[in-house]
Homo-oligomer: A and B are copies of this chain.
Amino acid sequence: MKQYSIVISLLGALLYGIAQSVAADNTKLEDDANRIAAEALKSPLAYQILESLTTEVGPRMAGTEQDALAVKWAVEKFKQLDFDRVWTEPVTFPVWQRGEESASIVAPYKHQLAVTALGMSIGTPEQGIEAEVVSFPTLKHLSEADPKQVEGKIVFINHKMERHRDGRGYGPVVKGRGAGAVEGAKKGAVAVVIRSVGTDSHRFPHTGMMRYADGVKKIPAAAISNPDADLLQRIIDRGEPVRMHLQLDAKIVGEYTSANVIGEITGSEKPEEIILIGGHLDSWDLGTGAVDDGAGVAITMAAAAFIKKMGFKPKRTIRVVLFANEEQGLVGAKAYAKAHADEINNHITGSESDFGAGRIYEFQSNVQSDALPFVHQLQRALKPLGVEYAGNQAGPGPDLIPLYRAGMGVFSLEQDGTDYFDLHHTPDDTLDKVDPEALAQNQAVYAVFAYLAAQYEGRLDLPEQKKKQ
């Protein structure tokens, strides 16, 4: 018994020592996190990066001259920011060109409309299309319509997006953007025009991707601004036949190879294990891509750079990936997952910033239950930044979907997106819309997240039941 007691006492002392040491490490770590947060909150770094990108590059739609310029800019910026490794990985895709575009109501009244082609739409014949307009409140109404109502007409989907902080108004409405042309064509429509997927009331049409389906005729697809949608509906509501003229030069012109641009702060103890943060480097062509997704690029570049600049040595590698061509189908994300298939299990966790430049107000995790100590640590560290924990059901940012599907746990650092869809995919997505203080708070949150995740000993995989889904 006595020997047992001694053994137990020794064991107890040992465990106590370990616990003490872990507690001391954790205290040190949390102090470090607090220092990072406090310093990053005061730093203009992310804003400077965003200013540089929007001023020196501007719009950078996939496959354009400025796409190449953005890649060059990103490589140089990573180097200026003293990242340990900087490289590019090729991403190839078809090039969609917008061209000239116009739309007008020609009867019973004449109005020029603020219009833009949806991404990947085909063009109209050179002289345009003129046809009667038939209006549906939602995609569902179109899908359920009698083809006789639709045949030979231009379909107008007048689905108004709701404004919410978390952007949940987007999902229900964007379906019409994606599938409107297919549903319309199935019923014999000659073109589809949607109310812009956006919460503003300005004369800016919102572009964005649409899709065709095999075996369904391709018809041109465009968006008109919200005020123009109001006008068109008011005219339709008067009851006389309404005729529209639509002219789009949009087309696919060959293939282009752009690049994911990657910079990393190499881990001091487990360099092969990766904490991935990032955004997408491409934007639509209409604005300068300040909030979509220059902000995400700037926030995550700055966050990682900041950790190194403050002299911290993350144990795991913090990798910043600036994805190519997110807008036209997550092309860079798919290329990244493919190129890194053999090390996918080394991607410990990640978070993408792709919801503008608003302040982060909460975070969600999506990790296995034995990683909860990390979640609680992050919760304590982010609280001084005004960020609350909101549960273990985070979705991946769009470019993290392939990694998420491979089982990587994800974190969602939720930005206030109240105004995001006022600007999203419009000419109005410019630097003046970004609050430098909110951007600095984002940079602080990302820096704390990345650093804590890099120092955490355990894995941060998705819960087992989710992996099986």
Residues of A within 8 A of B (CB): 51, 54-58, 65-66, 109-111, 114, 201-204, 226-227, 230-231, 234-235, 238, 287-288, 426-428, 430-433
Q: Which residue of B lies closest to A234 (CB)?
A: B55
Contact B428 A202 (CB under 8 A): yes
Contact B109 A203 (CB under 8 A): no
Contact A227 B428 (CB under 8 A): yes
Contact A58 B110 (CB under 8 A): yes
Contact A427 B203 (CB under 8 A): yes
Supposing A203-B204, A235-B55, A287-B203 touch, asked if A227 and B110 sit within 8 A by C-beta, the answer is: no
Write out the residue numbers on chain B whose beta carbons fall within 8 Å of the beta carbon of A427: 114, 203
Q: How far is the CB of A49 from chain B (nearest CB, A)?
A: 14
Contact A288 B114 (CB under 8 A): no
CA distance A187 to B159 in the complex (A): 54
Contact B56 A109 (CB under 8 A): yes
CA distance A238 to B51 in the complex (A): 12
Supposing A231-B288, A234-B51 touch, asked if A201 and B432 sit within 8 A by C-beta, the answer is: yes
CA distance A57 to B202 in the complex (A): 20
Contact A203 B430 (CB under 8 A): yes
- Could you show 8 A-B contacts with beta carbons less than 8 Å apart? A55-B234, A55-B235, A56-B109, A58-B111, A227-B431, A230-B431, A231-B288, A231-B431
Q: How far is the CB of A140 from chain B (nearest CB, A)?
A: 25
Contact A109 B55 (CB under 8 A): yes
Q: How far is the CB of A59 from chain B (nearest CB, A)?
A: 8
Write out the residue numbers on chain B whose beta carbons fall within 8 Å of the beta carbon of A234: 51, 55
| Residue from A203, A426, A433 having most chain B Cβ neighbours under 10 A | A203
Write out the residue numbers on chain B whose beta carbons fall within 8 Å of the beta carbon of A238: 55
Q: Which residue of B lies closest to A237 (CB)?
A: B55
Q: How far is the CB of A232 from chain B (nearest CB, A)?
A: 10
CA distance A184 to B378 in the complex (A): 59
Write out the residue numbers on chain B whose beta carbons fall within 8 Å of the beta carbon of A230: 430-432
Per a CB cutoff under 8 Å, which of B110, B202, B227, B431 touches A202?
B202
Q: Which residue of B lies closest to A66 (CB)?
A: B110
12 new A-B contacts at CB < 8 Å, known A202-B428, A227-B432: A51-B234, A55-B109, A58-B109, A66-B110, A114-B427, A202-B202, A203-B204, A203-B427, A203-B430, A230-B430, A230-B432, A231-B288
